[in-house]
């Protein structure tokens, strides 16, 4: 099992400079998605439901005087196993483009943080741990097989009066299984429509 330091170091190597708040959220999403995909924790430290979103206290204690951070010398990404590294890389790709504030808002809208906070007002401090089981179940329910995702997209389009032909469904399948990024597909389509004019 990786340590929180190893995960933080890997994220910073992949994404470079960021705020410590963003690092905390990316560490949280790494833990959550690793639980969802592999059924085991990525690192042993508990994640708490602070007012700004999920926070690992051990990590916070090390960066508390810093706003931005570039490296994490206490960790070594080489200690991550293949599955662990794949999870962190996926999180860095999927969530790394969002700001710290966007990530915080996302966590506030999701069940694991909300359940841990209970009836506390949003601005109230809390150190309540976020449940592994709730993280695992919530994020596991976000995972859909590529064929199911394409079928749902095609059905939703049909309801809106737009039929997706086989070629378009294949393009969507490439996005769903990670062969093509959604923004790449959109850019290609916008370029095609502009050249048709």
pTM of the model: 0.76
pLDDT tens track for 124-155 = 999 999 999 999 999 988 876 677 777 877 88
pLDDT for 179 beyond 80: no
Average model confidence (pLDDT) across the chain: 91
CA distances from 60 to 74, 78, 107 (A): 13, 22, 17
pLDDT tens track for 23-64 = 999 999 999 999 999 999 999 999 999 999 999 999 999 999
């Amino acid at each position: 099992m990786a340590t929180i330091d190893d995960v933080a170091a890997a994220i910073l190597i992949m994404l470079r400079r960021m705020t410590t708040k963003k690092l905390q959220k990316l560490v949280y999403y790494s833990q959550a998605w690793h639980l969802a995909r592999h059924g085991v924790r990525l690192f042993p430290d508990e994640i708490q439901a602070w007012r700004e979103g999920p926070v690992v206290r051990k990590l916070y204690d090390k960066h508390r005087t810093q706003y931005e951070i570039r490296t994490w010398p206490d960790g070594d990404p080489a200690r991550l196993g293949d599955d662990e590294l794949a999870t962190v890389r996926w999180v860095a790709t999927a969530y790394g483009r969002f700001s710290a504030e966007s990530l915080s808002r996302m966590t506030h809208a999701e069940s694991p943080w909300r359940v841990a906070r209970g009836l506390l007002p949003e601005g109230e401090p809390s150190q309540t741990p976020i449940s592994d089981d709730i993280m695992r179940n919530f994020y596991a329910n976000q995972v859909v097989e590529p064929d199911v995702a394409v079928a749902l997209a095609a059905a939703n389009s049909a309801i809106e009066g737009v039929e997706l032909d086989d070629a378009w469904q294949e393009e969507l399948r490439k996005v769903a299984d990670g062969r093509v990024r959604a923004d790449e597909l959109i850019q290609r389509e916008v370029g095609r429509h502009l050249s048709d004019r």
